[in-house]
Amino acid sequence: MQPGQNQQMLCAAEMLEGIELPNGWKVLAKMPKSATGGCFSIPYFVERQNGKHKQTAFLKALNFRRILNEVDITKAMERHTKAFNFEKETLELCRDKKLSRIAILIDSGQYTARNSPWPVAYIIFELAKGGDARKQLATLKKFDLAWTLRTLHQISVGLNQLHHGGIAHQDLKPSNILFFEAFGAKITDLGCADTLDKPSLSPRGREPIPGDPNYAPPELIYGDISLDWKIRRLGCDYYLLGNLVMFFLTHGGSFNAVFHAKVDPQHRPLNWPHDYRSVLPYLNNAFEETLDEIKGTLPTSIQKKIIEILRWLCHPDPKLRGHPKDISQLHGNQFNLQRITSALDLLATKAEYGVLEY
Amino acid sequence: MAADNENSERQVIPQWRTFKDALAKDELASPSTRQPKGIDPSPFIQEKESDWKANKALPFALDLVSAAVVFDIKTPVAIEAAEFLLASGDRVHSIGVKLAKSVLGIHEAVAIEKPPQSRIQIVTALKQQKAKRINQPRNAFVWTDLARLYTILGQLSQAQTAIKIALALEPNERFVIRSAVRFLHHIKAHDEALHLLRRNPKTIEDPWLLAAETAASAAAQTDPKFAKTGLLFLERHDINPFHISELASAMATQEMRAGKHRHSNKLFAQSLYRPTQNALAQAVWATKLAGLADINPELLLRAKASEAITLDYYNRGAWKELIEAADKWAKEEGFSARPFGIASSIASSLLEKAQLGEEIADNGLKINPGNSVLLNNKAFAQALQNKVDSATKTLLEVDLESVNPQSKVCLLATTGLVCFRSGKGAEGRLLYEKAISSTNDPVLKTLASLYLASEDAALGNKAAFAEFKKAFIAAQKLKTTNIPAIAEHIAPRIQHMAAQHGIQLDLIKENKPFRFEGDFLDFNKKKLIT
């Protein structure tokens, strides 16, 4: 079979609607693709009778047909099955460690359809009724400072939980933030994650930019890959969190976009064939100008603190990311999110009590 | 006797611009023409496009627009999302509006920042820069710009501290190093400038720093350390010609000084393929010395190279125009004494405007207090106006220990002039003679001889007319300098005095107004400039 020959064929993963899986889950309808962010898996709504209640969830099935379309099938098969298993195992780890701000893995398994030559592997997550961050913001009628700051605090807590578990997310972006009724925000999609236990052995770990390049930190865009796991992986997460701060405060904008616009064209990645260190002074300057511009657009009551937080999270030099006290302490942990999480918590609490004006 | 230094050495010492100006002039770009491999963001953009199409809500639109800005991509769907954002009015955050405009190619009018010119403007700019320094304490460029403003105001110790901080923050960055080098030359710390460049690991990798090292070596009167590396850079084909313009120019100057005119002219030609303003100024300065043809003034005007334009007027004897151009140059390079030096010298020596010469020198001294060239020119202008007491006071301000031999000659001659104008002819003559005997430089010797004879003649000394004629003939041989012009400027007056004493000098038969003849060195026509 040649690549592309099976364009018209459907595989079992694409025909799960209406099927009852061996572990009691009934597959309902397909979900819109965007919510998952992956091209090699197909998302479905599923439900199961849980005592008197019906539990709804979402299922992610590995799409072999897309894999078969790849030029090198064996390599593609290896890559995607590895990624699928990695995500499943990492989620199991999160569940075992009771990481409350990470979308929970409810179940996993495989299903063999009657006429299908291969089984369909799947994982089942809890369903976020609020959708992802973009959808959630779209439903909000006006800017709510307290809600925004609390959400950022919740995401920071989630990321901190992952980091404490030795997991770097690396693809933290609006579509990977899910909203649950009453509980608030949770982080999902660990497909691009990397673990401290097995550094760079994760399926996407060897790629220079594991996640969405639109949000990626500048050092990765310029191809500067640190040998230090924390600087490379956690530094990336910090930057991505900074992007989310901007996303929630501007209802959709990314820090990267404002920053990129401030970098002189002669110093942009496509015009800079030298090492990252040599372009860094110009990026530092653009970074300061970015902060100046953002500062002018923020409510006065949070201006100072948010700029400080953005400086801690998004500094173009990954060695300078993190809270200054954590960086300067002799045995401090540069990538300890605790201080930043606390700062966001304090801001959120103040906003909830109406102390902050906007 | 006025001093302008333009007849002697000029090196391609880096020009000190503001960071923004250096960025705008592409001086901080990569010299390499290699292009790094880019990332293909299209799958991610497509995903955002389909999300936007499915949801048609503000956050989806702004998310797509942000991605389009990051990767400079303008797809029809991204444009549609940007239009949607702009049509949504107040519901969109101001940053979203800006990003949307950027995707649609709508650029807000930005007021062109003019460099601060008056003292009040400079002080205001300094105040703003100081505030910026507090907000951005780790930004080396802020410190460098601050040092520049301090230098313009003559606050050199503050400038030095700011430069040190900038160097500590970014020890290997081109703009910071070149600015520091320029500052060190300004405070005459030539050896320190050279040391800074030689110990820096980036110097051998960067043609801009190699150019500075070559020029700094000449200023410190030593051979450049990386001449071979520099030549290799000039032969490379993967380097943008603009980025090796100053290197070629600096090496051309070095070759010219060594008497290797053929190689030097070749290098000057290379420096003009895509010249920097500094390289243009150097080429104009070298035209007469190296036997190059004059550079087309249109080319200089197009490049807005105020120093080059000034030197071009100097070469062509367009004195009135020179005063205006030097004023512009002084405003651009506010801390340099050179534009004030050349303009005050020309105003007093060739335009009969001693008062203007005094004013210009005075303005220069506000920025460069104690500068011996400017003090000399001020005293010279004052003496020409017969303000001998003021001239004496001005000369007493000179710190003789820090004066270079060339300035010493000028100061001796100017003191002689003050003596002549205060009725002490014998003392004045002695001082002039001391000035003449203390130098081997034919330019200074001839100039001092011309002024001595002129002052002597004014006192009615008949022997002075013959001396003047001798000096006048000697001046005509110094074709590569402005001495013939000065001689011809003084000659009619001396000739008239000689006639009153019944002596026929026959120096100038008719007034020859300046007219440039010959071909311009128009590299543009030769398709050397792209």
B294-295 vs B520-521, strand pairing mode? parallel
Q: What pLDDT is recorded for position A7? A: 45
Q: What pLDDT is recorded for position A85? A: 85
| CB spacing of A285 vs B141 below 8 angstroms | yes
- The closest CB to that of A270, out of B35, B47, B141, belongs to B35
Beta-ladder partners of A156: none
Chain B neighbors of A307, CB-CB under 8 A: none
Check the CA dihedral B455-B461-B463-B465 and report its sign: positive
- Cα-only R_g, chain B: 28
- The closest CB to that of A251, out of B26, B93, B170, belongs to B93
Q: What pLDDT is recorded for position B260? A: 87
Q: What pLDDT is recorded for position B520? A: 42
Write out pLDDT tens, residues B275-296.
Answer: 898 998 898 888 877 666 667 7
Q: Which residue of A has its CA nearest to B239?
A: A273
The encoded tokens of residue B225 equal: 């350390």
CA atoms within 13 A on the CB side of B454: 24
Interface residue B35 vs chain A (CB under 8 A)? yes
Q: In 3-state terms, what secondary structure has residue B521?
A: strand
Stated pTM of the model:
0.83
Reported as a pLDDT band with limits 50, 70 and 90, residue B265 is confident
Reported as a pLDDT band with limits 50, 70 and 90, residue A102 is very high
In Å, how far is A271's CA from the nearest CA of chain B? 6
Cα separation, A340 vs B366, in Å, equals 50
From residue A82, give the alpha-carbon distance in Å to each of A63, A191, A207, B42, B369: 13, 10, 14, 24, 73
Other CB atoms within a 10 A radius of the CB of residue B338 amount to 23
Reported as a pLDDT band with limits 50, 70 and 90, residue A36 is very low
Other CB atoms within a 10 A radius of the CB of residue A196 amount to 14
Cα separation, B187 vs B169, in Å, equals 22
Mean pLDDT, chain B, as a whole number? 86
Q: Which residue of B has its CA nearest to A271?
A: B35
**Numbered ranges of CATH 3.30.200.20 in chain A:** 12-126
Q: What angle do CA A226, A232, A234 make, to 5 degrees?
A: 155
* Residue-by-residue DSSP string for B360-375: HHHHHHHHSTT-HHHH
- The closest CB to that of B54, out of A32, A254, A260, belongs to A32
Chain B neighbors of A282, CB-CB under 8 A: 28
Mean pLDDT, chain A, as a whole number? 87
- The closest CB to that of A274, out of B26, B28, B30, belongs to B30
- The closest CB to that of B34, out of A246, A273, A284, belongs to A273
Q: In 3-state terms, what secondary structure has residue B304?
A: coil
- The closest CB to that of A213, out of B44, B136, B142, belongs to B44
A167-168 vs A105-111, strand pairing mode? unpaired
Q: What angle do CA B173, B177, B179 make, to 5 degrees?
A: 120
Q: Residue A1 pLDDT more than 50?
A: no
DSSP at B239: B
Cα separation, A348 vs B160, in Å, equals 45
| CB spacing of A34 vs B41 below 8 angstroms | no
Nearest to B329 by CA among B360, B307, B344, B361: B307
In Å, how far is B57's CA from the nearest CA of chain A? 6
Q: What pLDDT is recorded for position B305? A: 83
- The closest CB to that of A134, out of B19, B60, B92, belongs to B60
Reported as a pLDDT band with limits 50, 70 and 90, residue B7 is low
Q: What pLDDT is recorded for position B512? A: 52
User: B200-222: b or e for each residue (b if 16 or more CB lie within 10 Å)?
Assistant: bebbbebbbbbbbbbbbbbbbee
Using an 8 Å Cβ cutoff, are B185 and B15 in contact? Answer: no
Q: What pLDDT is recorded for position B515? A: 41
Percentage of residues of chain B with pLDDT beyond 90? 45
Q: What pLDDT is recorded for position A10? A: 60
Interface residue B511 vs chain A (CB under 8 A)? no
Cα separation, B53 vs B246, in Å, equals 53
From residue B388, give the alpha-carbon distance in Å to each of B124, B184, B497: 38, 35, 23
Q: What pLDDT is recorded for position B433? A: 92
Alpha helix ranges (H) inside B38-155? 42-55, 58-70, 76-87, 94-104, 119-135, 140-152
In Å, how far is B251's CA from the nearest CA of chain A? 25
In Å, how far is B143's CA from the nearest CA of chain A? 12
Using an 8 Å Cβ cutoff, are B115 and B334 in contact? Answer: yes
First to last CA, chain B: 44
The ipTM is: 0.89
A355's CB contacts (< 8 A; 6+ apart) are: none
Reported as a pLDDT band with limits 50, 70 and 90, residue B226 is very high
Reported as a pLDDT band with limits 50, 70 and 90, residue B413 is very high
DSSP at B14: P
- Once rounded to an integer, what is the mean pLDDT over residues A142-151? 92
| CB spacing of B26 vs A270 below 8 angstroms | no
3 state SS for chain A = CCCCCCCCCCCHHHCCCCCECCCCCEEEEECCHHHCCCCCEEEEEEEEEECCEEEEEEEEEECHHHHHCCCCHHHHHHHHHHHHHHHHHHHHHHHHCCCCCECCEEEEEEECCCCCCCCEEEEEEECCCCCEHHHHHHHCCCCCHHHHHHHHHHHHHHHHHHHHCCEECCCCCHHHEEEECCCEEEECCCCCCEECCCCCCCCCCCCCCCCCCCCCCHHHHCCCCCCCHHHHHHHHHHHHHHHHHHHHHHCCCCHHHHHHHHCCHHHCHHHCCCCHHHHHHHHHHHHHHHHHHHHCCCCHHHHHHHHHHHHHHHCCCHHHCCCHHHHHCCCCCCCCCHHHHHHHHHHHHHHHCCCCCC
Strand boundaries in B418-525, DSSP class E: 520-521
Q: How far is CA A93 from the centre of its chain?
A: 17
In Å, how far is A105's CA from the nearest CA of chain B? 25
Q: Which residue has the higher pLDDT, A101 or B110?
A: A101
Q: Residue B249 pLDDT more than 80?
A: yes
How many Cβ pairs within 8 Å bridge chains A and B? 151
Q: What pLDDT is recorded for position B522? A: 41
| CB spacing of A261 vs B102 below 8 angstroms | yes
Q: Which of A9-18, A83-92, A100-109, B372-381 has the lowest mean pLDDT?
A: A9-18
- Once rounded to an integer, what is the mean pLDDT over residues B256-277? 88
Write out pLDDT tens, residues A49-96.
Answer: 888 888 889 898 887 777 777 778 888 888 788 888 888 888 888 888
Cα separation, B416 vs B414, in Å, equals 5
Reported as a pLDDT band with limits 50, 70 and 90, residue B516 is very low
Chain B neighbors of A191, CB-CB under 8 A: none
Reported as a pLDDT band with limits 50, 70 and 90, residue B148 is very high
Write out pLDDT tens, residues B45-54.
Answer: 998 999 999 8
Task: Please report where in the chains the tokens 């459907």 appear, as a residue.
Answer: A10
Nearest to B33 by CA among B200, B241, B212, B189: B241
- The closest CB to that of B69, out of A257, A269, A284, belongs to A257
| CB spacing of B54 vs A34 below 8 angstroms | yes
**Numbered ranges of CATH 1.10.510.10 in chain A:** 133-352
The encoded tokens of residue A146 equal: 């307290």
Task: Please report where in the chains the tokens 């603009």 appear, as a residue.
Answer: B242
| CB spacing of A138 vs B59 below 8 angstroms | yes
Reported as a pLDDT band with limits 50, 70 and 90, residue B499 is confident
Cα separation, B306 vs B126, in Å, equals 24
CA atoms within 13 A on the CB side of B238: 5
Q: Residue A6 pLDDT more than 60?
A: no
Cα separation, B443 vs B283, in Å, equals 21
Q: What pLDDT is recorded for position B529? A: 33
Other CB atoms within a 10 A radius of the CB of residue B117 amount to 14
Chain B neighbors of A135, CB-CB under 8 A: 55, 57, 59
Interface of B with A in 58-87 (CB under 8 A): 58-63, 65-67, 69-72
CATH architecture of A12-126: 2-Layer Sandwich (3.30)
Q: What pLDDT is recorded for position B291? A: 67
From residue B109, give the alpha-carbon distance in Å to each of A72, B106, B112: 52, 9, 9
Cα separation, B384 vs B347, in Å, equals 11
Other CB atoms within a 10 A radius of the CB of residue A131 amount to 20
| CB spacing of B36 vs A270 below 8 angstroms | yes
CA atoms within 13 A on the CB side of B389: 0
| CB spacing of A32 vs B41 below 8 angstroms | no
Chain B neighbors of A246, CB-CB under 8 A: 95
In single-letter form, the type of residue at position A3 comes to P
| CB spacing of A223 vs B36 below 8 angstroms | yes
Is domain A133-352 annotated with CATH 1.10.510.10? yes
Q: What angle do CA B310, B522, B336 make, to 5 degrees?
A: 20
Nearest to B81 by CA among B57, B46, B98: B57
Q: In 3-state terms, what secondary structure has residue B41?
A: coil
Write out pLDDT tens, residues B177-204.
Answer: 999 999 999 888 999 999 999 999 999 9
Beta-ladder partners of A60: A43, A123
Write out pLDDT tens, residues B199-212.
Answer: 999 999 999 999 99
